[in-house]
RNA sequence: CGGGACGUAGCGCAGCCUGGUAGCGCACUUGCUUGGGGUGCAAGGGGUCGCGAGUUCAAAUCUCGCCGUCCCGACCA
């Protein structure tokens, strides 16, 4: 299912209300501003903004290069960054927006980053999470870890404190540092080992209540990202092998991203790669040969699909691709550590030019992981050599045993495998496949007629250009960054950790939970990725470290200097965050720096002061206009307001 | 975890192949100059050449080990 992101609230409400709303916002802004940032006018000559002409050689993606060049961040180690003055200001502004919006629906907590092992044992995740979790020992040798996410800790509070349905629903959130020992930190702030996350958790009596909490988060997230000036899409996401019913991701398209988003421009369908489906164009089947029964053909040394197709003069789409896996049981590393990891054979058939989406497969067969079969396993299940394996002659597990991990219920025939037929093969006839015999393939093979399977399902990855499942138009695939994720958790944690409340009837029930995350630094990164050029980047005033930079183009000129100073003070008085570039530098240097560091508006104070004019430059378009000095405060305030989140 | 590359001044790099005690641009300091898109001139300061062993009269340079960082892949509850 697809839910299109709602329009920004400021676009959908009447202008009078909008003005009122912004008035309130700026009042709040003034209040919180005065609390958290005592000065709103800073002199460049006095603050630390170490801009660089060149990016470090290590940096690859635009946001990384620019964050370093603009003096926002400095690297301490792989995936570990220090935030300097500008970087911290931008982060704090993002956090302020997140907090303002989250406070409308929930309550802010602050949980420990340092967690004892026990609580993670209870949910089973001490073992499940594996190497991604930073672990340490205290002086007594007790195991601790650094928080990775906080479902366990929040659920612990819930189970100790929540007793009655009257206390529900609850939405609790925090803005906290998370630690993940990423196998490969990369792309600047995009994939790091320490980062700031807003994580929220909801507790409801029933699924209907969860729907409400989930929807509140959906709307809140849209407001947050709108206010941050991001262009994003909301996509249906894979909920993970660990359960959960529904989940959606908020994505910003950028080549720097690591996730793939499948979307349709025609109707708005969007989903991530693990969830996306498509309509494939009809394929012309081969004509049967002979009596139409499978026919052995000699294909010496032609194991790979491409080789076979070329050898036989057919297209890969006439071929059945065979992929043989051993699937591994979920939960083997549970809290009791009960049992070893079980494995069962899962064999997939799909069109020769299609590829398996392992995440879809995992979900289908309820496995934690799959690995390719080894040569001797291939021999066992196919009774033929790798490269020439195919569907005929397999022992097939019945559909009832799909996802069955109780080995006692497995078929007596230890060759029996779960056989999955990709839906793309349904209706196809007279295909080519491996014969389970060295150097031989089969012709005239029709799924369902010539071989059985456990189940037919969608387990392939969508390719760009295939038909949208909703409207049939060509699908596109873009890379994107995930900036937020909302997730119906269900009962996983409340059940496993024993959270119970009494319902109306005095009956003990587990609350149903949701969890909802936003990556603070990823908002900054995504914003830069979507708004940059060769000279730098620009942020929405809502998240920029300053609303405006006032450049005195010649600090040696008394008149220019004092006008710049007065303008800066005036803007500060109007509640704007102002950076006054009072350095004794050449104008060119100041313009380059101003363009680099992400500030949305610039005022050039120069020769035209004699005509009572200064120049206002929008960083996003580089459009400039002359404005009367007497009108500058009002002019800038309006500009910031129009573009404010 | 598999594959690849790199590590020399704050940043970007040369020097390494062929061993002889470290250099360029930017940045920084001082002075003059210039003043609307990284001004010009002059004089300066700054480097355990990632770390540790080894070879050698002599190691940034050759050898071995380690550490770190980045890229591709795998992985990403």
Measured CA A56 to C1' B24 distance, in angstroms: 18
In chain A, pLDDT over 90 holds for what percent of residues? 64
Selected residue with higher pLDDT from A284 and A32: A284
Give the distance, in angstroms, between residue A528 CA and nucleotide B70 C1'.
Answer: 21
Q: Is A161 exposed, middle or buried (0-12, 13-18, 19+ CB in 10 A)?
A: exposed
**A318, A460 Cβ separation under 8 angstroms:** no
Q: Cβ distance A143 to A135 under 8 Å?
A: yes
> Which nucleotide is nearest, taking the CA of residue A607 and each C1'?
B36
Q: Name the nearest CA neighbour of A151 among A122, A180, A127.
A: A122
The neighbour count for residue A422, using CB atoms within 10 Å, is 25
State the nucleotide closest to A239 in CA–C1' terms: B77
Confidence bin at A9 (pLDDT 50/70/90): very low
d(CA A536, CA A528): 9
Distance between CA atoms of A354 and A373, rounded to whole angstroms?
19
CA of A76 to C1' of B58 (A): 37
- What is the pTM assigned to this prediction? 0.86
- For the CA of A37 and the C1' of B17, the distance in angstroms is 57
Write out the two tokens for A172. Answer: 């609790």
Strands A170-179 and A532-533: unpaired
Distance in Å, residue A513 CA to nucleotide B68 C1' = 43
Q: What is the pLDDT of residue A238?
A: 67
C-alpha distances (whole Å) from A125 to each of A119, A120, A310 are 9, 5, 49
User: Tell me, what's the pLDDT at A188?
Assistant: 93
Sheet containing A41-43, strands listed edge to edge, beginning at the edge strand earlier in sequence: A41-43, A578-581, A548-552, A601-605, A613-618, A624-628
State which nucleotides on strand B lie below 7 Å from a protein beta carbon: 1, 11-13, 25-27, 34-39, 68-77
Our measurement of CA A521 to C1' B59, in angstroms, reads: 45
Q: Choose between A385 and A520: higher pLDDT.
A: A520
Instruction: Please identify which residue in the block is written with the tokens 């630390």.
Output: A48
List all residues 6 or more positions away from A586 whose beta carbon is below 8 Å from its beta carbon.
Answer: none
Nucleotide nearest to A242 (CA to C1'): B77
The residue lying closest to nucleotide B74, measuring its CA against C1', is A183
Nearest nucleotide to A191 by CA–C1' distance?
A: B76
Q: How far apart are CA A432 and CA A520, in angstroms?
A: 51
Distance CA A519, CA A516 (A): 10
Q: What is the ipTM of this complex?
A: 0.94
Nucleotide nearest to A591 (CA to C1'): B37
pLDDT in tens, A542-554: 999 999 999 999 9
pLDDT at A168: 97
β-strand partners of A491: none
Nucleotide B37's nearest residue (CA vs C1') is A588
Q: How confident is the model over A207-236, as pLDDT tens digits?
A: 999 999 999 999 999 999 999 999 999 998
Q: Which nucleotide is nearest to A589 (CA to C1')?
A: B38
pLDDT at A29 (0 to 100) = 52
Peptide bond just before A45 cis, omega within 30 deg: no
Q: Is the pLDDT of residue A527 over 50?
A: yes
Residues A397-455 pLDDT 10s:
999 988 888 888 898 888 899 999 999 999 999 999 999 988 999 999 999 999 999 99
Give the CA radius of gyration of chain A.
Answer: 30
Calculate ∠ Cα A591-A594-A597, nearest 5°: 150
Is residue A1 predicted with pLDDT exceeding 60?
A: no
pLDDT of residue A4: 41
DSSP letters for A164-218: BGGG--EEEEEEEEEE---SS-BTTTTB-SEEEEEEEEEEESSHHHHHHHHHHHH
C-alpha distance across the termini of chain A, in Å: 29
Query: Looking at per-residue confidence, does A480 or A291 come out higher?
Result: A480
Which whole number is the average pLDDT over A470-477?
A: 92
- Determine phi and psi for A345, rounding to 5 degrees: -75, 135
Spatial distance from the CA of A79 to the C1' of B69 (Å): 11
Q: Which one-letter DSSP state was computed for residue A44?
A: G
Through-space separation of residue A65 CA and nucleotide B9 C1' in angstroms: 21
Q: Is pLDDT at A395 greater than 60 in this prediction?
A: yes
The residue that minimises its CA distance to C1' of B76 is A182
Q: What is the mean pLDDT of residues A535-541?
A: 96
Rounded to whole angstroms, the distance from the CA of residue A75 to the C1' of nucleotide B56 is 39
Decide which of A302 and A83 is more confident.
Answer: A83
Task: Using the CA of A369, give the nucleotide whose C1' is nearest.
Answer: B75
Mean pLDDT, residues A47-62 taken together: 93
> Is residue A620 predicted with pLDDT exceeding 80?
yes
Q: Do the beta carbons of residue A188 and residue A64 sit within 8 Å? A: yes
Q: Which of A56-60, A206-210, A527-531 has the lowest mean pLDDT?
A: A56-60
Q: Mean pLDDT in chain A?
A: 88
Instruction: Indicate if the pLDDT at residue A333 is higher than 60.
Output: no
């Amino acid at each position: 299912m697809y839910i299109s992101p709602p329009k920004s609230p400021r676009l959908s409400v009447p202008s009078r209300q909008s003005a009122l709303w912004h008035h309130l916002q700026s009042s709040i802004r003034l209040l919180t501003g005065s609390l958290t940032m005592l000065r709103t006018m800073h002199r460049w000559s006095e603050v630390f903004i170490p801009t660089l002409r060149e990016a470090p050689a290590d940096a690859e993606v635009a946001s990384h290069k620019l964050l370093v060049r603009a003096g926002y961040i400095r690297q301490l180690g792989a995936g570990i960054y220090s935030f300097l003055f500008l970087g911290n200001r931008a982060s704090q502004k993002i956090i302020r927006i997140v907090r303002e919006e989250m406070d409308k629906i929930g309550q802010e907590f602050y949980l420990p980053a340092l967690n004892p092992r026990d609580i993670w044992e209870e949910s089973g995740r001490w073992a499940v999470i594996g190497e991604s979790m930073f672990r340490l020992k205290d002086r007594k040798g007790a195991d601790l870890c650094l928080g990775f996410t906080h479902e366990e800790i929040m659920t612990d509070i819930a189970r100790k404190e929540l007793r009655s349905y009257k206390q529900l629903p609850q939405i609790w959130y925090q803005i906290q540092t998370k630690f993940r020992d990423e196998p490969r930190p990369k792309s600047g702030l995009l994939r790091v080992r320490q980062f700031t996350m807003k994580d929220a958790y909801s507790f409801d009596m029933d699924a209907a209540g969860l729907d409400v909490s989930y929807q509140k988060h959906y709307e809140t997230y849209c407001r947050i990202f709108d206010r941050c000036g991001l262009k994003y899409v909301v996509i249906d996401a894979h909920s993970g092998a660990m359960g959960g019913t529904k989940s959606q991701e908020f994505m910003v398209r950028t080549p720097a991203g690591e996730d793939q988003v499948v979307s349709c421009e025609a109707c708005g369908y969007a989903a991530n790669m693990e969830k996306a489906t498509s309509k494939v164009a009809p394929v012309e089947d081969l004509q049967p040969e002979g009596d139409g029964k499978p026919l052995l053909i000699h294909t010496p040394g032609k194991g790979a699909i491409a080789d076979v197709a070329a050898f036989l003069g057919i297209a890969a789409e006439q071929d059945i691709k065979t992929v043989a896996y051993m699937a591994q049981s979920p939960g083997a590393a549970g809290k009791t550590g009960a049992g070893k990891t079980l494995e069962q054979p899962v064999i997939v058939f799909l069109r020769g030019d299609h590829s398996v989406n392992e995440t879809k497969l995992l979900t289908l067969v309820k496995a934690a992981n799959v690995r390719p079969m080894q040569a001797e396993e291939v021999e066992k299940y196919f009774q033929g050599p790798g490269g020439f394996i195919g569907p005929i002659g397999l022992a097939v597990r019945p559909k009832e045993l799909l996802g069955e991990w109780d080995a006692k219920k497995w078929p007596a025939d230890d060759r029996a495998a779960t056989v999955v037929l990709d839906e793309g093969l349904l209706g196809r006839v007279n295909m080519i496949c491996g014969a389970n015999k060295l150097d031989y393939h089969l012709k005239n093979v029709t799924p369902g007629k010539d071989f059985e399977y456990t189940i037919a399902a969608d387990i392939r990855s969508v390719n760009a250009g295939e038909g949208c499942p909703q409207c049939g138009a060509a699908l596109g695939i873009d890379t994107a960054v995930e900036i937020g994720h909302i997730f119906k958790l269900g009962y996983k944690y409340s059940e496993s950790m024993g959270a119970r409340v009494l319902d109306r009837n005095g009956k003990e029930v587990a609350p149903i939970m949701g969890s909802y995350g936003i990556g603070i630094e990823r908002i900054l990164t995504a914003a830069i990725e979507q708004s940059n050029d060769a000279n730098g980047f620009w942020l929405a005033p809502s998240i920029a470290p300053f609303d405006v930079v006032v450049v005195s183009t010649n600090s040696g000129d008394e008149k220019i200097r004092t006008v710049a100073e007065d303008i800066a003070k005036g803007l500060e008085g109007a509640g704007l965050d102002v950076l006054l570039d009072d350095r004794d530098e050449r104008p060119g240097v100041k313009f380059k720096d101003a363009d680099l560091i992400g500030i949305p508006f610039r005022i050039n104070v120069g020769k035209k002061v004699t005509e009572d004019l200064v120049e206002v430059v929008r960083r996003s378009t580089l459009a400039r206009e002359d404005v009367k000095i007497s009108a500058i405060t009002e002019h800038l305030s309006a500009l910031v307001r129009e573009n404010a989140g």
